[in-house]
């Protein structure tokens, strides 16, 4: 029916009436996303050669936390310390469940002494009710969130704003203007390299998006669709809730929530929630944890930090084995599960887990399967036993759905993050030539 793509349009940013692909699983978050613009290959090369603009995280989502006890409240739920958190800076904040699983994570901005804003499913995520005992107002906002990433992103934004932006350091934000509209620029991104975000009221989204896109024409800008957006996380080494793992719900409703809100897939039993969730240690975020304060999940995280079992690596899939899944479609007999391009399975939000074996031994799980146009490789993120995580180790990813035909795909343990260029955190842009 017509309503499938005209109604509830989450991101009306594009003048040329882009059509959307929808996954109607998650009430409260935007359900309609632009999947592809110029083509996923072009889009996925953009952050190497030029830059992209991505608007898929816009809409209903950011959470405002404001009030006399805003800091106290936030501190009670995140593993990070908020002691050094100046106004105008951002943190990647992580929130756990009592049993030490990641419940929510995302970028939190400090807007004022008593005011924080949390983006893209960041704490408290869907658990707005956790603020109840505190003197704090927690509410959802409607905002545009545009990600501009790639080597030319700074030039594009300087052209769009007409302003020198070299002072914006990694994880800092401030106000700037585009065509007279105030917008907030922050230096953060999901490619691993130079990247920025723009935030502002949703009504002004179309004007800002168009202005940046136009300014970017001379700098190789591509509009990034959701399909390729997920690719950069895996190349960039950013495990991500709803993509490479599931934000953990409280134990009693864990399975029900996962089944209801996510597309469950992979060779691991679909009722196995643990295989599809992660701890901060498992995704290498435990260095963010500070045990100088009390927070939900502290005890479990402290115990795991003392004796960690698993860690995240990039898995580089064996080409012959990948191609055999395609070839199996064109020969008689059973076929293997198809590998969608550029990410697989082409679903969202996902709760995917494939078994990873070394020899006959179960060593962990794989998720976030992508094809990287830049590297010409199929990659995924493995969460595997530390004892098996040496670079170059050969493992097996069991590709397929539980109970169906499985393909044992050989994979090599590879560097994490997989991109090898300069990290956004280390890049000195003060000397970069202006656009």
Of 30-38, 163-171, 189-197, 416-424, which segment contacts another protein by CB under 8 A? Answer: 30-38
Binder of another protein out of 28, 162, 319, 422 (CB under 8 A): 319
List phi, psi (to 5°) of 45. -90, -10
Q: How many CB atoms lie within 10 A of CB 323?
A: 12
Q: Does 37 bind another protein (CB under 8 A)?
A: yes
Residue 228, token pair as written in the block: 């390729």
417 prior amide bond cis, ω within 30: yes
Q: Does 359 bind another protein (CB under 8 A)?
A: no
Is the CB of 291 or the CB of 326 nearer to another protein?
326
Binder of another protein out of 340, 358, 405, 435 (CB under 8 A): 340
Q: Does 306 bind another protein (CB under 8 A)?
A: no
Q: Does 428 bind another protein (CB under 8 A)?
A: no
Angle in degrees, 0-180, between the axes of helices 153-161 and 205-215, rounded to the nearest 10: 120
Q: Does 5 bind another protein (CB under 8 A)?
A: yes
Q: Does 19 bind another protein (CB under 8 A)?
A: yes
Q: Does 332 bind another protein (CB under 8 A)?
A: yes
CB of 6 to another protein, least distance (A): 9
CB of 346 to another protein, least distance (A): 7
CB of 13 to another protein, least distance (A): 12
Q: How far is CA 171 from CA 18, 237, 346, in A?
A: 32, 17, 31
Q: Does 22 bind another protein (CB under 8 A)?
A: yes
Q: Does 390 bind another protein (CB under 8 A)?
A: no
CB of 191 to another protein, least distance (A): 21
E strands, 136-293, are 137-149, 173-178, 181-186, 195-201, 221-223, 263-265
Binder of another protein out of 38, 88, 201, 421 (CB under 8 A): 38
Of 229-237, 338-346, 391-399, 425-433, which segment contacts another protein by CB under 8 A? Answer: 338-346
Q: Does 341 bind another protein (CB under 8 A)?
A: yes
Q: How many CB atoms lie within 10 A of CB 48?
A: 18
DSSP class of residue 202 equals: G
List phi, psi (to 5°) of 422. -65, 140
The separation between CA 13 and the C-alpha centre of its own chain, rounded to angstroms, equals: 21
Determine the 3-state secondary structure of 269 from DSSP.
coil
Closest CA to 428 of 168, 86, 54, 50: 168
Closest CA to 278 of 365, 159, 375: 365
Which positions touch another protein (CB under 8 A)? 1-2, 4-5, 14, 16-24, 34-41, 319, 323, 326-327, 329-332, 335, 338, 340-341, 345-347, 371, 376-377
């Amino acid at each position: 029916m017509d309503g499938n793509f005209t109604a509830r349009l989450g991101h009306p940013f594009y003048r040329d009436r882009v059509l959307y692909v929808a996954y109607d699983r998650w009430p409260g978050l935007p359900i309609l996303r632009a999947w592809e613009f110029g083509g996923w290959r072009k889009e996925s090369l953009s952050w190497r050669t030029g830059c992209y603009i991505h608007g898929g995280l816009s809409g209903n989502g950011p959470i405002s936390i404001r009030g006399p006890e805003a800091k106290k409240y936030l501190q009670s739920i995140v593993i990070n310390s908020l002691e050094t958190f100046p106004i105008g800076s951002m943190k990647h904040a992580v929130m756990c469940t009592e049993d030490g699983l990641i419940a929510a994570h995302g970028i939190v901005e400090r807007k004022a002494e008593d005011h924080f804003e949390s983006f893209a499913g960041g704490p408290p995520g869907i658990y707005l009710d956790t603020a109840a005992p505190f003197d704090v107002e927690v509410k959802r906002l409607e905002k545009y969130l545009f990600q501009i990433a790639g080597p030319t992103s700074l030039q594009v934004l300087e052209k769009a704003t007409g302003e020198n932006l070299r002072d914006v350091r990694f994880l800092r934000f401030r106000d700037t203007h585009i065509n007279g509209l105030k917008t907030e620029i922050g230096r953060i991104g999901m490619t691993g390299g130079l990247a920025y975000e723009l935030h502002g009221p949703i009504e002004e989204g179309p004007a800002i998006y168009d202005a940046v896109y136009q300014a970017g024409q001379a700098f190789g800008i591509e509009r990034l669709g959701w399909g390729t957006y997920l690719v950069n996380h895996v190349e960039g080494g950013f495990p991500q809730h709803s993509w490479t793992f599931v934000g953990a719900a409280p134990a009693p409703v864990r399975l029900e929530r996962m089944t209801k809100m996510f597309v469950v897939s992979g060779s691991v039993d679909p009722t196995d929630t643990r295989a599809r969730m992660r701890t901060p240690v498992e995704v290498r975020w435990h260095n963010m944890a500070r045990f100088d304060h009390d927070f939900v999940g502290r005890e479990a995280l402290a115990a795991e930090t003392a004796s960690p079992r698993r860690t995240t690596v990039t898995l580089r899939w064996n080409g012959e084995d990948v191609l055999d899944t395609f070839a199996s479609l064109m020969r008689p007999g059973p076929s293997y599960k198809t590998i969608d391009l550029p990410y697989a399975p082409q679903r969202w939000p996902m709760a995917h887990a494939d078994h990873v074996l070394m020899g006959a031994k179960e060593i962990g799980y794989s998720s976030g399967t992508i094809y990287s146009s830049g590297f010409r490789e199929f990659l995924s993120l493995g969460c595997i036993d530390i004892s098996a995580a040496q670079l170059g180790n050969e493992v097996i990813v069991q590709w397929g759905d539980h109970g169906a035909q499985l393909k044992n795909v050989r994979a090599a343990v590879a560097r994490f993050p997989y991109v090898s260029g300069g990290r956004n955190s280390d890049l000195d842009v003060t000397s970069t030539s202006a656009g």
